[in-house]
Homo-oligomer: A and B are copies of this chain.
Amino acid sequence: MTADPVSTVFAALADPTRRAILARLAAGEATVNELAAPFPVSVQAISKHLNVLERAGLIVRTREAQWRRCRLEPAPLRTLAEWVDQYRKLWDDRYDTLDAYLDNLKGKDDEPAQ
């Protein structure tokens, strides 16, 4: 209930169908039926997936006659990239300056070092 935004985005991405929908939308806007076509599930199930993606802020839907055009909203992905970048120094050998690491840390959620 009322989960934090980061958790909501991670949860939305923890489903291969939803990630495939995002991948499709990265190529351009699409309607619900167009998005549902490749999947072996009902259109209603896709509509639910779109609700999850919309609540996570990953897509926006606009009315257009009887269609609902879906568009990808990259802002949460940017937040995610920043979150994971907190840990980059742990795997990236080229990331060797402590200063840059501490800079990245400022004002972030779930700081690795408090």
Residues of A at under 8 Å CB distance from B? 3-4, 6-8, 10-11, 13-16, 19-20, 22-23, 26-27, 72, 74-75, 77-78, 80-81, 84-88, 90-92, 109-114
Contacts and interface: CB of A to CB of B under 8 A. Distances in A.
Count this chain's copies in the assembly.
2
A99 to B, nearest CB: 17
Chain A interface mostly? helix
28 contacts: A3-B16, A6-B16, A7-B15, A7-B16, A10-B10, A10-B11, A10-B13, A10-B14, A11-B11, A11-B14, A14-B14, A19-B110, A22-B87, A23-B111, A23-B112, A23-B113, A23-B114, A26-B90, A27-B113, A27-B114, A72-B90, A74-B90, A74-B91, A77-B87, A77-B90, A78-B91, A81-B81, A81-B84
A95 to B, nearest CB: 11
